[in-house]
């Protein structure tokens, strides 16, 4: 009888161990996919800005948060750079655990806006491509910072 109880106890502990391993793998998988962000169709968000020949190209006037805790937030753009991060002195203060204190900066150069990563841990992505240098941001192209997605709109 004692041998049966011992075997059942061992089997129970083994089952608990496998459940723990399974739970850890689920959390790791969730974190990996959360860091890679949402999946966007490249047909819906073109990387290259549309150039309209003969007419003036549209200029970005607003920064809109399309996904994340601040979805729906709209910032009117001026001539000053927009600092994005968790720091209180940022223009767009994120409450996202996957963003850094000073994560990225959007700055105007002529009629175009450029995004640059400020040495963040998780990186800044322009339409699923990691930003390594100052990169022009076309209108309507998603910029992902942690779990937050922003777009420039006219």
8 Å CB contact between 77 and 151? no
Q: Is the dihedral of CA 119, 125, 129, 135 positive or negative?
A: negative
Provide Rg for the chain, Cα atoms.
22
27-39 per-position pLDDT tens digit = 877 766 655 444 4
Q: Is the dihedral of CA 112, 153, 69, 79 positive or negative?
A: positive
Please report which helix (H) or strand (E) contains residue 108, including its range: strand 104-109
Task: Retrieve residue 125's tokens.
Answer: 């992505």
85-142 per-position pLDDT tens digit = 999 989 999 988 888 999 999 999 988 999 999 988 889 999 888 998 999 999 999 9
Alpha carbons 122 and 135: distance in angstroms, whole number: 17
8 Å CB contact between 154 and 65? no
Task: Retrieve residue 73's tokens.
Answer: 């937030």
Average pLDDT of the chain?
A: 83
Q: Within 13 Å, how many C-alpha atoms sit on residue 19's CB side?
A: 6
Helices (H), the chain: 2-36
Q: Which residues contact 115 (CB under 8 A, 6 or more apart)?
A: 104, 105, 106, 124, 126, 131, 134, 135, 137, 143
Q: Would the pTM of this model clear 0.85, i.e. be above it?
A: no
- State percent of the chain over pLDDT 70: 82
Residue identified by tokens 């006037």 is: 61
């Amino acid at each position: 009888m004692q041998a049966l109880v011992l075997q059942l106890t061992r089997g129970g502990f083994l089952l608990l161990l496998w459940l723990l391993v399974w739970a850890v793998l689920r959390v790791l998988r969730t974190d990996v996919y959360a860091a890679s962000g949402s999946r966007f169709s490249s047909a819906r968000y073109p990387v290259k800005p549309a150039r309209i020949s003969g007419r003036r190209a549209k200029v970005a006037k607003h920064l809109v948060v399309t996904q994340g805790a601040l979805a729906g937030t709209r910032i009117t753009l001026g001539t000053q750079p927009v600092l994005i991060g968790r720091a209180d002195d940022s223009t767009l203060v994120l409450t996202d655990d996957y963003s850094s204190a000073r994560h990225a900066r959007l700055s105007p150069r002529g009629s175009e806006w450029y995004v640059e990563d400020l040495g963040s841990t998780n990186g800044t992505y322009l339409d699923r491509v990691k930003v390594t240098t100052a990169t022009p941001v076309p209108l309507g192209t998603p910029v992902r910072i942690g779990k937050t997605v922003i777009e420039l709109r006219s």
